[in-house]
Amino acid sequence: MTDQSPTPLREIDPDVPRNRSPIIFMAIVGITAISIAVVVLGRDDRRSIKATITVPQLNVAETRGREIFNGTCATCHGIDAIGDTDIGPPLMHPYYRMEIFPSDMVRRAIMLGKAQDKWKYGHMPAQIKLNENEITDVMKYFDALRENNSLGN
């Protein structure tokens, strides 16, 4: 009869590095990277930038326009049109300079509303609560604001 006892296992020196498969490590790194990408790229951060502006010395009509703007339009566009809301874009942005958006175009957007364009805030509704004189005062204020902050002609 032959002795068929199993071969004894060799003891492994604890100082010898083990050959571990990198698959588990690579899977963990890959899943982590994908998770971070989904969180960062998938969020819908719509908060507008906050512009830094200076408000010029205003005449009576421009002051009324500022009061109307800050009472009606600031909910979406921020106080003095500086943004920092999650509802509408900042109007004190180079995109809204007079050469691209002349006063008559802005007036038309106030009266008729504006479909979503460059920003991801959605449709701007018509401001039907404002009468013609109020819109004129808002436009005088907005144009003075743009002129004073290098967004005018």
DSSP 16-39: SPP---THHHHHHHHHHHHHHHHH
Tens of pLDDT, residue by residue, the chain (153 residues): 566 666 666 676 677 666 667 788 888 888 998 888 777 666 655 666 777 889 999 999 999 999 999 999 999 999 999 988 888 889 998 889 999 999 999 999 999 999 887 778 889 999 999 999 999 999 999 999 999 998 876
* Domains parsed from the chain with CATH numbers: 60-148 (1.10.760.10)
pTM: 0.68
Which residues on neighbouring strands pair with residue 130, listed in sequence order? Answer: none
What are the structure tokens assigned to 153, written together? 């002609």
Q: What are the residue ranges of helices labelled H in 1-131?
A: 23-42, 60-72, 74-77, 103-112
Going through 5-118 in order, the beta strands assigned E by DSSP cover none
